[in-house]
Amino acid sequence: MTTVRELLFGDVVGGRAGEAADRVEQAAEQLVGVGALPAADEAPALTVARAFMTRVAQLLDVEVSDVLVGAWRTRSALLDAARRTHAAPGTSEQVVIKAYALPWEYETELDLVVNGRTLTTVTVLAQAELEVTALVATVAAGRLARLGGGDCRMTARLRVRGADPQADVQVAQGERTFAVPYEVKTGERGIPLIEQARDVPAQAPAPQAQTRTPA
Amino acid sequence: MRTHSLPRAAAALLAALLCAFSGAAPVSAATMAAPLGTTVLQSLDTEFGPTRAPRLFTAACGQGEELLSGGWAGFSPFVEVLGSYPSDEQGRPVAPGGRPSAWTVAAYNRGKDVLQLQVTAACLAGSDGQPAVAAATDTRADQAFALAVACPDGTVRTGGGFRSEWTPQLGGATVHGSFPSGDTDWTLDVRLTPGDPDVKARATVTAYAVCLAGPKARAETVPVDLGLDKAEPVCTGGGDIFAPKCVVPRSGTASALCPAGLTLTGGGYQLLEGDLPGDTAVLVATPLDPVARRGWTVAVRGDAPTDAPITVRLSAVCVFAAERPVLDTGPPIVTLPNPTGPSRPLLVALVGLGGLLLLLLVALALWRMLRRDRGEPAAGVGVEVVVRSGRSGYRLDGFREDL
């Protein structure tokens, strides 16, 4: 499954050998180039920047499917359908969404510690723009039971902000388009979209299921 | 990491002891021209492939040498130089008042091939001068602006440079001029280069001057005006409806030489007339003239929209030693205690204590040098990145759904 890290730095498996490491290195060089991290007498700037960017890359091992499902759980027609089908056991709904967008942000503060001394605190901001088109989904018992189609274009950016307001630099950017059913696996039990449906398996859609179609 | 303080302290102590023994005064009114030292050029020849971020290349001065200035030779318009500045050996910019030991060039390779770059540091050997960096940083949104920094009184400006920060969103700046101005200043002519078209462009640029303190010296600049040659226009496209697009290839190379007896310490370039043929047109700005070895060399090449005159002024910074006080053999101003003063055993004890301290300092310096050679400091560095806080969420103001 694709992660935000792979979106920003390239595929570790399946990509060109060393591509991801190269892009992390480039980001580190960029941080050094613009002086975004303070100088440490004990260690070369690039060594510190490399360690920093490697840790940031680890933190971004977030699957894009989790980001996508999290968005639907926050606000979507799928969420509304989940509430309805959970309230009326045995029903299911087919939801067709022409277009859907909800930006996601991940912000973290990292202490940069060299030889036990905290040099500075740096803020890292990852942003992803989700754009889903032509999504066909079946919702039953509050769960996403099946995905019949849909494409998602995800654009991600990574910014690093130091203590100095001027030291705000974008160090990575990536974009990828993928088929939603390929990334989001519903499995046999489906994916709960509301809290109450977590322990209830989705039921097979009944033949006479209520269907919502585009207005 | 270089440590000069211990040898200097040892030398000062030794000098004081010798002075005490000889009974000579350190200074008198007599003067003579003192040699300033010798300029040594340290260069780094490298090749680098296409890059998406600027890469840093550093040429460091040798042991016992002091940085004066530096420059680069990029040989290709695809090499975009974003910075050419005094630094430490790791390429970190030196803070104002700090002591530089290397020269760093930050460069992009905008092409598709591996390109060459030569970085040169001009260093002073055999001098007791101490360089320090003067720097001024400014963030501006003007399309073109100048930025200057001055060396403090009592120092000699030996060179200067620049550093421009670039981000994809805010863009950055290209430096169309980096040159000595007046007796103490280093000035930059800066042009804004936009990044994201939806964001107002802004550039953060730092001007650097290297200021030498210590020796009695004076600097003068030697200007040479370079008028760029123009070749036949090169045209592309064009047809029945559209006119062809034409450019005029422009180029020129010149060196500014210091007069005999003066030491080249650095140099700069300034656009006097017209506009540079492209933001990366200054391919070479270096003290390492392969022929004369004492000239500041600038090469410009690029395509201009017209054949209007373009003149670039090169300025070599040349330093010469001024008169300075020297040791005198006349009557001492500072005298040792005479035989009727403190007893001879006390004097012997004082001298012995000084000698012991000197030996300790030498031993400590040797120990630190050996540690550095074994590379222990680097091996012992521990870098940790600790997560302090984190949050993730969705921006509901960007929500859009179409059923």
In angstroms, how far is CA B358 from the centroid of its own chain?
Answer: 34
Nearby residues of B145 by Cβ (< 8 Å), 6 or more positions away: B138, B190
* Residue positions counted in chain A: 215
Q: Which of B58, B80, B376, B401 should one mutate to test binding to chain A, selecting the residue with the greatest count of A CBs within 10 A? A: B401
**B91 interface with A at CB cutoff 8 Å:** yes
Distance from CA of A84 to the nearest CA of B (A): 17
As a whole number of angstroms, the distance between CA B233 and CA B227 comes to 17
Domains of chain A by residue range: 4-197
For residues A147 and A181, is the Cβ–Cβ distance under 8 A? yes
CATH of domain B33-323: 2.60.120.690
Residue owning tokens 């060089």 = A29
Strands B203-213 and B130-140: antiparallel
Nearest residue of B to residue A133, measured between CA atoms = B402
Within 10 Å of residue A21's Cβ, how many Cβ atoms? 14
Closest-CA residue to B311 (of B270, B259, B368): B270
Nearest residue of A to residue B91, measured between CA atoms = A45
Closest-CA residue to B266 (of B341, B164, B373, B156): B156
Which 3-state string (H, E, C) describes chain A? CCEHHHHHHCCCCCCCCCHHHHHHHHHHHHHHHCCCCCCECCECHHHHHHHHHHHHHHHCCCEHHHHHHHHHHHCCHHHHHHHHHHHCCCCEEEEEEEEEECCEEEEEEEEEEECCEEEEEEEEEEEEEEEEEEEEEEEECCEEEEEEEEEEEEEEEEEEECCCCCCEEEEEEEEEEEEHHHHCCCCCCCEECCHHHCCCCCCCCCCCCEECCCC
As a whole number of angstroms, the distance between CA B230 and CA B252 comes to 9
As a whole number of angstroms, the distance between CA B129 and CA B155 comes to 10
Distance from CA of A114 to the nearest CA of B (A): 5
pLDDT in tens, chain B (403 residues): 333 444 444 444 444 444 344 443 333 333 444 557 777 888 888 888 887 677 888 899 988 888 999 999 887 888 888 899 999 888 888 888 999 999 999 888 888 788 888 899 988 887 778 899 999 988 888 888 899 999 998 899 999 999 987 666 666 788 999 999 988 999 999 988 776 666 677 778 899 999 998 767 788 888 888 888 888 888 877 777 777 788 888 888 888 888 777 788 899 999 988 888 888 888 888 887 645 555 788 888 888 888 888 999 999 998 877 654 444 444 433 333 344 444 556 667 777 888 888 888 888 877 766 554 443 444 456 888 888 888 889 999 999 999 8
As a whole number of angstroms, the distance between CA B62 and CA B309 comes to 42
For residues A180 and A151, is the Cβ–Cβ distance under 8 A? yes
Q: For residue A101, give the nearest of B51, B91, B399 by CB distance.
A: B399
